[in-house]
């Protein structure tokens, strides 16, 4: 059963919560602007194309934690309940299911050969592409991001603000880095990314950190600086995942801005003020970010010049945008998936799935893979009209 509107508006991952100061939870939730705003009604529009639900698969009831599918060259890996799944992304057929012994609370991370996740029992569990268990490690605290897997390592981030790096084959811990922590932070989905500068980590202090292969800082630059007199006012967490392409590395922060730096030498290319709740994504021409009031912003990729802002979904708890062949797709609290024209920002198509997205949708084959709070994984895909020869 879908959650009622009021509960969703206060409990979705974009709602402000304390993760480090339990006494502040009720105060902060009461201060969250989304808890007192009425979601905008969906407006009529003229569809530019249809949307197909290609397949869906059940991953178990009541998903917990920070779950996201991992799309790799060897298949699609996803988790739900207390199981890990390998799925054929083209058909949705389950290729195998492996029980992990405890509720999965973070994952999945994979490079196609090594598959990693975190459990409610505080374990980092690592498997190979056939589902064979390779090793596990007891973590110092709850995992708060999906593992990052690649280049022979598995990296995890825990609620005690530590980043730990493990050898993907042996499970031996190579290094650990301790980040700073403010008195109050957001409980939002974050992800680490590989980049030319090293591993990019968005911090809850509003800074973007890069670590080299030995766990040493390459740089630590402010995406935004905390402002105001109260702890709530000073929230400035970097949200979502950093964006990395051939020319830019970008990050976005809550009550802050979007920052894009050069992928070659790290100099600041452009910044724009946005109260962000999602990491930036790009189609190569523009960069897209969701704001805390569910406005969607588009900026020119190279210059940061504002292209458009869509405000018709205000307070509908939009998640991270995803680039598809039909435009920019976003999922709201009620499972409504809207596609926006990348040129105009206007709604081009709409469909509905069971539940809200619990992580950033993953682009695949012109469509999007979406894992929901109803325990399902969907592939949806635009059906564009056939072009006729003149």
At 36 the pLDDT is: 67
**HEC-encoded secondary structure of 67-124:** ECCEEECCEEEEEECCEEEEECCCCCCEEEEEECCCCEEEEEEECCCEEEEEECCCEE
- What's the confidence (pLDDT) of residue 300? 99
Q: pLDDT, tens digit, for every residue of 134-173?
A: 999 999 999 999 999 999 999 999 999 999 999 999 999 9
334's tokens: 């009620």
pLDDT at 236: 86
CATH placement of domain 5-383? 2.130.10.10
Q: Which residues pair with 153 in a beta bridge?
A: 150, 167
Q: What is the pLDDT of residue 386?
A: 84
Domain-by-domain residue ranges, the chain? 5-383
DSSP line for 233-281: TT---EEEEEEE-SSEEEEEETTEEEEEEETTT--EEEEEEE-BSS--E
- pLDDT at residue number 313: 98
Q: What is the pLDDT of residue 389?
A: 60
Cβ atoms 349, 382 nearer than 8 A: yes
Q: Which residues of the chain have pLDDT under 50?
A: 1-35
Q: Which of 92, 6, 9 is nearest to 52 (CA)?
A: 92
Q: What is the pLDDT of residue 16?
A: 39
């Amino acid at each position: 059963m879908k959650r009622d509107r009021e509960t969703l508006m206060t409990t979705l991952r974009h709602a402000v919560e304390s993760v480090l100061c339990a006494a502040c939870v009720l105060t902060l939730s009461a201060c969250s602007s989304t808890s007192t705003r009425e979601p905008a009604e969906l407006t009529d529009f003229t569809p530019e194309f249809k949307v197909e639900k290609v397949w869906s698969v059940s991953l178990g009831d009541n998903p917990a934690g920070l779950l996201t599918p991992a799309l790799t060259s060897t298949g699609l890996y996803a988790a739900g309940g207390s199981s890990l799944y390998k799925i054929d992304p083209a058909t949705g057929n389950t290729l195998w299911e492996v029980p992990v012994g405890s509720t999965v609370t973070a994952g999945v991370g994979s490079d196609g050969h090594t598959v990693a996740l975190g459990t409610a029992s505080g374990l980092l569990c690592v498997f190979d592409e056939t589902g064979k268990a390779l090793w596990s490690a007891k973590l110092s605290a709850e995992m708060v991001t999906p593992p990052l897997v690649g280049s022979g390592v598995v990296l995890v981030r825990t609620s005690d603000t530590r980043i730990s790096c493990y050898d993907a084959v042996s499970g031996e811990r190579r290094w650990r880095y301790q980040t700073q922590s403010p008195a109050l932070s957001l409980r939002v989905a974050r992800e680490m990314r590989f980049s030319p500068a090293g591993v990019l980590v968005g911090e809850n202090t509003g800074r973007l950190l890069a670590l080299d292969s030995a766990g040493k800082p390459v740089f630590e630059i402010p995406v935004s600086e905390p402002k105001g007199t109260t702890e709530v006012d000073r929230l400035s967490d970097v949200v979502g995942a950093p964006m990395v392409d051939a020319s830019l590395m970008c990050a976005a922060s809550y009550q802050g801005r979007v920052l894009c730096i050069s992928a070659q030498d790290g100099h600041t290319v452009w910044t724009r003020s946005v109260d962000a709740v999602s990491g930036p994504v790009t189609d190569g021409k523009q960069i897209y970010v969701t704001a805390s009031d569910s406005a969607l912003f588009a900026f020119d990729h190279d210059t940061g010049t504002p292209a458009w802002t869509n405000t018709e979904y205000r307070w509908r708890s939009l998640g991270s945008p995803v680039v598809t062949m039909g435009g920019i797709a976003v999922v709201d609290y009620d499972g409504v998936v809207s596609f926006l024209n990348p040129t105009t920002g206007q709604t081009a198509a709409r469909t509905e799935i069971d539940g809200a997205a619990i992580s950033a949708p993953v682009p695949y084959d012109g469509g999007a893979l979406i894992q929901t709070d109803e325990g399902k994984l969907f592939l949806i895909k635009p059906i564009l009209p056939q072009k006729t020869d003149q």
